[in-house]
Amino acid sequence: MKTVTILGATGSVGTSTLDLIEREPDRFRVVALTANCDVAKLAAAAIRTRAEFAVVADEGCLPELREALAGTGIRAGGGADAIAEAAASGADWTMGAIVGCAGLKPVMAAIEQGGTVVIANKEPLVSAGDVILAAAKRTGATLLPADSEHNAIFQCFDATRPERVRRIILTCSGGPFRDWTIEQMRGVTLEQAVKHPNWSMGAKISVDSATCMNKGLELIEAARLFPIPHDRIEIVIHPQSVVHSLVDYVDGSVLAQLGPPDMRTPIAHTLAWPDRMATPMAPLDLVGIGRLDFEAPDPVRFPAMRLAREALDAGGARPAILNAANEVAVEAFLKRRICFLEIAAIVEDTLMRYDPAAPDSVDAVLAIDAEARILAGKRVEDCVV
C-alpha cells in the first residue's frame, strides 16, 4: 500500500491523479489533499478517498471546509502552515500540482520528508531550481517529472551515460495560434487562448501554451532535471502531441516516448515507478493518427521561447523574474485586463528593468519573485485593453 498526498488536488492534474488512485484502492491510500478554495471539490474528493487531512490555502474557506467535512473524521486545515503540514505528511508519494510559484514552499516541505515528490508544478523548478535540487540531494528525496515532455525524456534518458546523449528534443504542440499571424493574434480572446487543441488543462498553463511560454518554462525545467548543456536542448513543433519528447544519442539512435495527450499516462508512470500500472486509456491508434508532423518554432511570433532561453543562459535570478512576470501577465490576461500579445511584452520589460543577484535560498527566490511581481504589475497598469 503506497501512501499518497496531492497538493493541488482540485485542479486538472490533481483530478487526473485522483482518477488513477481511485481505480486502485488496494494499492493507494490517501493521506492529504489540498486546494486553494474549491471546498466542494476538495471535500468530495477527501470523503470519496477517505483522506486523513484536507486543506485549503485560503484560510477564509476553512469554516466552509469544516462544515463540509463535519462528522466524517477527516481533519480540516487552512492557510499556508496547514498546506506545509499536508506537504510534510510523510506520504510515500507526493504530487506537486499547485499552479505557479505558490507551490514552491509546499514542494520544499515535501522534499524535506525525503519521499518521492512528483513535479507537475513546473514554476518552482524554474524559479528555484538550484535550491530545490540541493534540498532533494540533501534529504534523499526522489524527484520524478509528471510534465508529459519531461516524463518522456525521463523514460528515454540513460542517466548512467549522460555523456552519450547528443540532444534532448522537447516537442511543442504550438498551441491554438500555431498558424496565426501576429496581426491575427492581436485580437485573440480569452476563450480562444484557453482552448488548447489537444490537451485539457487549467487556465494558466493553457494560456502559457498559447503564448509558448509553457515550452520556455519547460526548456528551463529540462535543463534543471537532466544533466546536459542547455544548448543541446532543442524545441520542435509537433502539432499532434503524440510524441511527447525525444532523446538523441551519439550513435544516431533517437528514443521517443509516445502516448495519447492525456496526463494520466505520465502521472501513472510516476505513481507506479519503477513498476508500471494500467490506465483507462485506449491503446495508441497509430493508423488512426495517420501522420506525425514536425516543424521549426517561430521565435518572432512566439517571443516567449526566446525570453526563456535567454533567461536560462543568463541564469541567476533571470528565470525567477521571467516566471513571476509571466504569472502576473497571464493573470491580467485571464481577467481581461491586457491583450494577448502584451503577455510576452510585460515579461520582457520586467526582465529589462530588474537584475538582482542570484538567489541562494527559498526566501531569496521569493523576495525576487515579489519584486518582479510589483514591477510587472505596474506594467500591467500601463496597458489599456
Ligand X SMILES: NC(=O)c1ccc[n+]([C@@H]2O[C@H](COP(=O)([O-])OP(=O)(O)OC[C@H]3O[C@@H](n4cnc5c(N)ncnc54)[C@H](OP(=O)(O)O)[C@@H]3O)[C@@H](O)[C@H]2O)c1
Contacting range for ligand X; rule: CB under 6 A; set: 110-118, 201-209, 309-317, 342-350: 201-209
Name the helix (H) or strand (E) containing 349: helix 342-353
Q: Interface mask (CB under 6 A) for ligand X, residues 141-160, using x and -?
A: ------x-------------
The label of the residue with cell 548512467 reads: 160
Q: Is 78 in the site for ligand X (CB under 6 A)?
A: no
Orientation angle between helical segments 12-23 and 39-49, nearest 10 degrees:
20
Q: Is 317 in the site for ligand X (CB under 6 A)?
A: no
Q: Is 12 in the site for ligand X (CB under 6 A)?
A: yes
The label of the residue with cell 492534474 reads: 13
Q: Is 108 in the site for ligand X (CB under 6 A)?
A: no
Name which of 140 and 280 has its Cβ closer to ligand X: 280
CB of 18 to ligand X, least distance (A): 11
Name the helix (H) or strand (E) containing 155: helix 148-156
Q: Is 123 in the site for ligand X (CB under 6 A)?
A: yes
Q: Could you tell me which of 227, 221, 365, 240 has the C-alpha nearest to residue 294?
A: 240
Name which of 10 and 211 has its Cβ closer to ligand X: 10
Q: Is 201 in the site for ligand X (CB under 6 A)?
A: yes
Among 4, 18, 86, 99, binds ligand X (CB under 6 A): 99
Name which of 75 and 140 has its Cβ closer to ligand X: 75
Q: Is 321 in the site for ligand X (CB under 6 A)?
A: no
Grid cell in block for residue 303:
517571443
Alpha-carbon distance of 24 to 213, in angstroms, equals 35
Alpha-carbon distance of 338 to 383, in angstroms, equals 6
Alpha-carbon distance of 95 to 25, in angstroms, equals 17
Q: Is 95 in the site for ligand X (CB under 6 A)?
A: no
Cβ–Cβ < 8 Å for 104, 32 = no
Name which of 123 and 349 has its Cβ closer to ligand X: 123
CB of 353 to ligand X, least distance (A): 25
Name the helix (H) or strand (E) containing 182: helix 182-185
Among 5, 89, 94, 121, binds ligand X (CB under 6 A): 121
Grid cell in block for residue 103:
507551490
Alpha-carbon distance of 303 to 215, in angstroms, equals 11
Give, as ranges, the residues between 322 and 361 that touch ligand X (CB under 6 A). none
CB of 5 to ligand X, least distance (A): 13
Q: Is 173 in the site for ligand X (CB under 6 A)?
A: no
Among 165, 263, 339, 368, binds ligand X (CB under 6 A): 263
Q: Where are the beta strands (DSSP E) in the chain?
A: 2-7, 28-35, 53-56, 75-78, 93-96, 116-119, 142-145, 165-172, 233-237, 243-249, 254-258
Contacting range for ligand X; rule: CB under 6 A; set: 114-122, 223-231, 248-256, 272-280: 114-122
Name which of 14 and 303 has its Cβ closer to ligand X: 14
Q: Is 35 in the site for ligand X (CB under 6 A)?
A: yes
The label of the residue with cell 491586457 reads: 338
Alpha-carbon distance of 106 to 212, in angstroms, equals 26
Name which of 331 and 348 has its Cβ closer to ligand X: 331
Q: Could you tell me which of 132, 104, 152 has the C-alpha nearest to residue 261?
A: 152
Interface with ligand X (CB under 6 A): 8-14, 35-38, 57, 83, 97-99, 102, 120-123, 147, 199, 201-205, 263
